[in-house]
Amino acid sequence: MLSWENTPSLIPMQRERAWVEIDLSALAHNVRQICQLLAPGADLLAVVKADAYGHGAVTVARTALKHGATWLGVATIPEGIELREAGVNAPILLLGATNTPEQVRAIARWNLQPTLCTPKQALIVSETLSADSPHTVLPVHLKIDTGMSRLGAPWQDAAEFAQLVQNLPQLKIASLYSHFATADSLDQTVMRLQQARFKGAIAQLTAAEIATPMLHIANSAATLTDPSLHYDLVRVGLALYGLPPAPHLANKVDLQPVLQVKTRVTQVKTIQAGTGVSYGYQFIAEREMAIATIAIGYADGIPRNLSNRMSVLIRGRRIPQIGAITMDQMMLDVSQIPDLQEGEVVTVLGRDGEESISAEDWAAMLGTISWEILCGFKHRLPRLTVSQTQEARAGVIQL
């Protein structure tokens, strides 16, 4: 597929059909807010996996680093390479596992830092390095499973695992880390049990006279919950993007949503009572009414399950969507705006005047989480960066 960024003839067309707006001033604000909250000595790792939760990894990484983050976290090697190719020099932690010599070679070549979870992974890294790049010393991050049951060595084996890695040539233990399963829950029981296991793993290392490496366990929710969870580094994703990980954490810092989704009206028409709208006639007009078609659909990442349930914003008003959402388009009941014109801007997610629609609103309707909503916007939508002024946020300036 054509890339918007790399195809000059497409650039003038970026706001023609449908697009994602990324407010870099909101992102910078969120980064600074989070940094102010950190325990003394703790640093911020900006989690920019999945194209920075759909916001655009390179722009987000640069902005986060400029405003206080010192580390970046990605899930995959290609995500790390994308940042390096763009000239990003900060240390990059690969959150996914490393299992093959091919992966090790790419990690060494691109100066990424792998997560190790098993002795086998550690041996593959060590053997590949000694065969291919005998002069490289690679910082590695040991992951301990304290209760997420995803990646990581069992917490009981922390010292044994660290000892094994320490004895391998060319590997340098840069950090010991773990990940919470329920940090966004009001009930802290599981999180505190995981914290206790993490402390136990650290104590094991001390007892085995292994120098304590950098320590980290907090995601967004844990970072907002308690500074005693910050250790040397916090790994923050969702909060960077301006969304609280849970309602009870919404007031810990002032977060501003970074992403908005916009499209345009492509046609306005009047339909008669009894007229069906869209595939399957899920909506039938009960009266003569004005409807509009807009140029965004499920192939852009608008969940089809929101058909006949979602609203959009036009001229600061909340406008109901009607009928099945189609691949590239959907219809609206625009009875409230009889003089609506083709080409007018429609806010699908975001703020218009006093009204706003958030990823959390969609997540609640769909029975999912805001993380999945953010990651769902497809690359058919160009990502446009804006640095909105207060006036623009208030709707005085039309961007």
Contact set with ligand PLP (CB under 6 A): 47, 49, 95, 179, 219-221, 235-238, 245
58 vs 221, beta carbon nearer ligand PLP:
221
Judged by beta carbon, residue 95 or residue 313, the one nearer ligand PLP is 95
3-class secondary structure, 38: coil
Chain residue at closest Cβ approach to ligand PLP = 237
Report the first-to-last Cα separation within the chain, whole angstroms: 27
CB of 205 to ligand PLP, least distance (A): 20
Q: Select 120 or 150, whichever has its Cβ closest to ligand PLP.
A: 150
Find out whether 321 and 308 touch, Cβ atoms under 8 Å: yes
Cα–Cα distance list, 367 to 124, 148, 333, 363 (Å): 41, 22, 25, 6
Query: CA–CA separation, 229 vs 240, rounded Å?
Result: 18
Minimum CB distance to ligand PLP, residue 117 (Å) = 11
Q: How far is the CB of 49 from ligand PLP (least distance, A)?
A: 6
Q: Between residues 60 and 265, which has the closer beta carbon with respect to ligand PLP?
A: 60
Cα gap 71→58, rounded to integer Å: 13
User: Nearer to ligand PLP by C-beta: 129 or 221?
Assistant: 221
Number of H helices, E strands in the chain: 12, 20
Please give the positions annotated as active site.
Answer: 49, 279
In sequence order, the 6+-apart residues with CB closer than 8 A to the CB of 85 are none
DSSP readout, 158-223?
Answer: HHHHHHHHHTSTTEEEEEEE---SSTTSS--HHHHHHHHHHHHHHHHHHHTTPPP-EEEEE-HHHH
Task: Tally Cβ neighbours within 10 Å of residue 303.
Answer: 18
Q: How far is the CB of 125 from ligand PLP (least distance, A)?
A: 19
Q: In terms of CB distance, is 180 or 283 closer to ligand PLP?
A: 180
In whole angstroms, the minimum distance from the beta carbon of 265 to ligand PLP comes to: 34
Q: Please state the closest distance from residue 349 (CB atom) to ligand PLP, in A.
A: 18
Name which of 363, 266, 365, 377 is nearest 308 in CA terms.
365
- Tell me the C-alpha distance between 399 and 395, whole Å: 9
Cβ-proximal residues to 368 (8 Å cutoff; 6+ apart), any chain: none
- Residue 375 CB neighbours (<10 A): 16
